Amino acid sequence: MPARKIHSTWQSCRWLGLGLWLLGASAAAQTLTLVSYGGSYGRSVERAWVEPFMAETGIEVRMEDYNGGLAQIRAQVETGNVFWDVVDLTTPDAVRACDEGLLEFVMLADLPAADGTPASEDFLPDSRSECSGGGLVSATIVAFNNQQFPDAPPSRLEDFFDLERFPGRRGMRRVPIANLEFALLADGVPINEVYATLDTDAGIARAFAKLDTIKDEIVFWEAGAQPPQMLADEEVVMTTAYNGRIFNAQVLENQPFTIIWDGQLQETSGPGIVLGTPRLEIARRFIEFMSRPESLAAISKYISYSPTRYSANAMVDSHRETGIAMGPHMPSAPANMKRALISDWLWWADNGDEMNERFAVWLSR
Amino acid sequence: MAITLKRWDRQALGAALLVAPLAIFVAVTFVAPLATMLVRSVYQPAVAEALPETLAALAEWDGGSLPDEETFRIAGAEFVALNERRALGSVATRVNRLESGMRSTLLGTARSLAAETPSASWREAMIAADADWGAIESWLAIRRAGEVITPRYYLNALDLDRGGAGEIVVQPEDRRIYVSLLLRTLAISIAITGICLLLAYPVAWLLAHARPRRAGLLLLLVLVPFWTSLLVRTTSWIVLLQNQGVINDLLVTLGILAEQQRLALIYNMTGTIIAMVHVLLPFMILPLYSIMRAIPERHMQAAASLGASHWQALRRVYWPQSLPGVAAGSLLVFILSIGYYITPALVGGRTGQLISSMIAYHMEQSLNWGLAAALGGILLLLVGTLFFIYDRLVGVDRMRLGG
């Protein structure tokens, strides 16, 4: 190849490289990465928050799925290579991540209610960490497939642990959270004594002893999308699940599932911003957008999770596709609250590691 | 002489340049992470770097009664300063692993001390903020978390711990897990290797001694699954083996099993063994095949002509010659299965998990990387020891992957 030609090829390579670099840089500045839990919840997030946000701001949002936990966030912050911007976090995870300096602070003053109520009075108590925005209340509940129990269906949390009257396999998330609480509730511990009981060694032993009674029948799940699938496949007769996933299977896929609201465990979640993201500005805009009461209320058009803001709860209406009134399907509906436990995120932030370890030992036996 | 030396030099340089990319690749992707991991299993400087003054004060503390006022003051001030830099949370997480509840004790105390600096006694102010500061265990936990070089993770990985006076004690029964899991992993790996050998030997024999056309077809049957994605193969086993799966449905339809008797073939140890044997089978067949192909068929004929029965010829003539393949295949399958992760994770359920699941758990969920590294270190040591024993008994030089 003659020298001149090489030179011109080299030149064009350089221009091409510069162009690609500019393209990459501009794309990086414009695209926000939002990490959530996927499945039917992920689709609800996309329709209620992501699409309106893109329409309003012109900022591109890319969605990614995960199954919770802080490992990836921690790895990104520690290596200084942050490619997740906004992450949907459960409140205990948000508290831990905030304390460990993995998230940016989110100022309440930036999230006013539509009617001018200060945000500090608008959020449910203890529903957010200093690093997360407005979020949702969800419940872990027990659900079953009607076809498996045509005559006498289960109706109480105790029935999940009753293999004699309701034989068959049980689905359960492969973590101690919720399962320990359910075990104690079903063993007769009153709602307001559950965490005090778990604070003692005897209480923990009692919870595991209760789990032992159904251990051989348990099939474990990890992603929130699995339990409705396991019920539909008749792989299990009953399973713990997130109420919104079961709701969506009921109304969108006409699955014959029933939720047992008795003994539900309510948790909150909200989005946080990964510390050190180069897209901090658009991440803040997204948090501000989705924390608006009307945005929080909008997701209830797609899935039965209720907002953590009082002013948003008043705006909850009906399901977009079927027109069902959403109120009765929410974890906080009075009829569903007869025996409901609010998850103690502080207890879990403190004892999560030890409980996980004990749970792992229990699993392996 | 000088000329040959120079030429040899140039050849050596050329060879070095040729292997350089691979050497660099191995160094970056294998040696460096391995070394980092082994270092991490004993070296944990984070707490020591965060709390230098507190740990210096605690070093002189007898550990028998509560620390003095001065230690309380130094520690309290250091907690407040750390929390302002948002660095107390990760320290608290590490201390919390040794003593549950210390996370909120540390963070809560730092917050209340920052809100109101004690005017008189720090000791009283801290105990008022959280009663845990009145317990010796809290201070012992901080001191232990501050050890830079620590055998703690290796002890934990062997279900041991250190008592109050630093003596080694066995963990209480409901906290023991790793030793039994390690033994289970070893047993399963041996079982899988054995099953693979039993299944692979006849197949490899067929492959090696069938007519070329048929051998080619057979080889394709071995290789196509080998080339198929691991995930596809594992999830196919889920379809086949699950409670409402193909095999159970077939058995029920044929009337061999009643509806209530469906076999639990997956999400347990059975599932792990079946799927792993399938995934690892080619690693046994291929080395066996390449060795067997090199064994002349005349040897068997010669044995027969000298009066050996078919069985005798197989046992005394064929089997010894195929041993290098058996050794290579077995070692390969055993080492692969001892650290196998994805298949047990997908089909192992509760009882079919191997030690790898705990390593992954501590890497991804609990973020206790020290313990994950120690478990990995023990696994590495185990494989190294087995390799050494194998070398002594069989000889690595006798192992051949190809004829």
CATH assignment of the domain containing B287:
1.10.3720.10
Range(s) of the domain holding residue B369? 178-398
Same structural domain, A127 and A155: no
pLDDT tens string B290-335: 999 999 989 989 999 999 998 999 999 999 999 989 988 999 999 9
Q: With respect to residue B338, please indicate whether it lies within any of the assigned structural domains.
A: yes
* Cα B395 to Cα A331: distance, rounded to the nearest angstrom: 66
Same structural domain, A214 and A277: no
Per the structure, how many domains does chain A have? Answer: 2
Taking CB atoms and an 8 Å cutoff, what residues of chain A touch B242? Answer: 233, 235
Q: Which residues pair with A221 in a beta bridge?
A: A173
Nearest to B100 among A205, A220, A354 (CB): A354
Same structural domain, B293 and B380: yes
* Alpha carbon separation from B321 to B311, B315, B325, B400 (Å, rounded): 15, 10, 9, 12
Same structural domain, B252 and B118: no
| Residue A156: Cβ-neighbour burial (10 angstroms; 0-12, 13-18, 19+) | middle
Same structural domain, A238 and A177: yes
Q: With respect to residue A151, please indicate whether it lies within any of the assigned structural domains.
A: yes
Among the candidates B148, B167, B186, a domain finishes at B148
How many CB pairs (< 8 A) connect A and B?
A: 83
* Alpha carbon separation from B258 to A145, B243, B263 (Å, rounded): 22, 13, 10
Per the structure, how many domains does chain B have? Answer: 2
Picking from B373, B333, B339, B343, the residue whose alpha carbon sits closest to that of residue B356 is B339
Q: With respect to residue B3, please indicate whether it lies within any of the assigned structural domains.
A: no
Do residues A256 and A80 touch, judged by C-beta distance below 8 A? Answer: no
Neighbours of A53 (CB within 10 A): 21
pLDDT tens string B116-142: 999 999 999 999 999 999 999 999 999
Q: With respect to residue B101, please indicate whether it lies within any of the assigned structural domains.
A: yes
Same structural domain, A143 and A247: yes
Q: With respect to residue A321, please indicate whether it lies within any of the assigned structural domains.
A: no
Average pLDDT over residues B202-223: 92
Model confidence at A320, pLDDT cuts 50, 70, 90, reads confident
Q: Considering chain A, what percentage of its residues have pLDDT values greater than 70? A: 92
* CA of residue B131 relative to chain centroid, distance: 40
* Cα A180 to Cα A295: distance, rounded to the nearest angstrom: 34
pLDDT, position A17: 54
Q: Give the alpha-carbon dihedral of A104, A109, A110, A114, to 10 degrees.
A: 140
Range(s) of the domain holding residue A237? 138-268+332-364
Interface of B with A (CB under 8 A): 85-90, 92-93, 96-97, 100-101, 103-104, 107, 174-177, 180-181, 242-244, 267, 349-351, 353, 358, 361, 363-368
Among the candidates B97, B128, B148, a domain finishes at B148
Same structural domain, B244 and B350: yes
Same structural domain, B209 and B120: no
Same structural domain, B187 and B323: yes
| A186 pLDDT higher than 90 | yes
Q: In chain B, helix, strand, coil percent, each to 5? A: 75, 0, 25
Q: With respect to residue B377, please indicate whether it lies within any of the assigned structural domains.
A: yes
Nearest to B96 among A98, A353, A363 (CB): A353
Predicted complex ipTM: 0.74
**Which of A160-164, A223-227, B176-180 holds the top average pLDDT?**
A160-164
Model confidence at A123, pLDDT cuts 50, 70, 90, reads confident
Same structural domain, B368 and B256: yes
Q: With respect to residue B348, please indicate whether it lies within any of the assigned structural domains.
A: yes
Same structural domain, A299 and A356: no
Same structural domain, A290 and A262: no
Rounded to the nearest 10 degrees, what angle do helices A91-99 and B88-98 cross at? 110
Whether A360 sits inside 8 A of B88 (CB atoms) is: no
pLDDT, position A207: 97
| A321 pLDDT higher than 90 | no
pLDDT, position A9: 52
Q: Locate B374 and state its tokens.
A: 């120690």
Average pLDDT over residues A69-97: 91
| Residue A152: Cβ-neighbour burial (10 angstroms; 0-12, 13-18, 19+) | exposed
Is A98 in the B-facing interface, judged by CB distances under 8 Å?
yes
Q: With respect to residue A2, please indicate whether it lies within any of the assigned structural domains.
A: no
Do residues B91 and B48 touch, judged by C-beta distance below 8 A? Answer: no
Q: Which residues pair with B43 in a beta bridge?
A: B149
Among the candidates B100, B129, B148, a domain finishes at B148
Same structural domain, B296 and B238: yes
Q: With respect to residue A221, please indicate whether it lies within any of the assigned structural domains.
A: yes
CA terminus-to-terminus distance, chain B = 37
* Cα B272 to Cα B368: distance, rounded to the nearest angstrom: 26
* Cα A85 to Cα A32: distance, rounded to the nearest angstrom: 6
CA terminus-to-terminus distance, chain A = 70
Same structural domain, B52 and B201: no
Q: With respect to residue A189, please indicate whether it lies within any of the assigned structural domains.
A: yes
Average pLDDT over residues B390-401: 71
DSSP character for B278? Answer: H
Model confidence at A1, pLDDT cuts 50, 70, 90, reads very low
Is A358 in the B-facing interface, judged by CB distances under 8 Å?
yes
Do residues A111 and A133 touch, judged by C-beta distance below 8 A? Answer: yes
Nearest chain A alpha carbon to B86: A101
Query: Coil, strand or helix: which one is A238?
Result: strand
Model confidence at B288, pLDDT cuts 50, 70, 90, reads very high
* CA of residue A352 relative to chain centroid, distance: 17
Average pLDDT over residues B50-70: 93
Nearest chain B alpha carbon to A233: B244
Please, which residues have CB within 8 angstroms of residue B277's CB and are 6 or more apart in sequence?
B192, B195, B196, B199
Same structural domain, B331 and B248: yes
* Cα B347 to Cα B245: distance, rounded to the nearest angstrom: 13
| B398 pLDDT higher than 90 | no
Q: Considering chain A, what percentage of its residues have pLDDT values greater than 90? A: 61
Phi, psi of A220 (to 5 degrees): -95, 145
* Cα B102 to Cα B145: distance, rounded to the nearest angstrom: 11
Same structural domain, B218 and B287: yes
Q: With respect to residue A5, please indicate whether it lies within any of the assigned structural domains.
A: no
Same structural domain, B139 and B182: no
In CATH, what number is assigned to the domain containing residue A55? 3.40.190.10
Nearest to A353 among B85, B97, B349 (CB): B97
* Cα A56 to Cα A32: distance, rounded to the nearest angstrom: 14
pLDDT tens string A6-63: 455 555 555 555 555 555 545 445 799 999 998 889 999 999 999 999 999 999 999 9
Taking CB atoms and an 8 Å cutoff, what residues of chain A touch B100? Answer: 350-351, 353-354
Same structural domain, A91 and A234: no
Same structural domain, A232 and A209: yes
**Mean pLDDT of the residues in chain B:** 89
Task: Count Cα neighbours of A310 within 13 Å in the Cβ-side half-sphere.
Answer: 11
Same structural domain, B264 and B359: yes
| B403 pLDDT higher than 50 | no
Q: With respect to residue A150, please indicate whether it lies within any of the assigned structural domains.
A: yes
Q: With respect to residue B253, please indicate whether it lies within any of the assigned structural domains.
A: yes
Q: With respect to residue B268, please indicate whether it lies within any of the assigned structural domains.
A: yes
Same structural domain, A56 and A119: yes
Q: β-strands A31-36, A60-65: how paired? A: parallel
pLDDT, position B400: 59
Q: With respect to residue B385, please indicate whether it lies within any of the assigned structural domains.
A: yes
| A139 pLDDT higher than 90 | yes
Do residues A172 and A239 touch, judged by C-beta distance below 8 A? Answer: yes
| Residue A43: Cβ-neighbour burial (10 angstroms; 0-12, 13-18, 19+) | middle
Instruction: Give me the residues of A, 240-299, that contact B with CB < 8 A.
Output: none
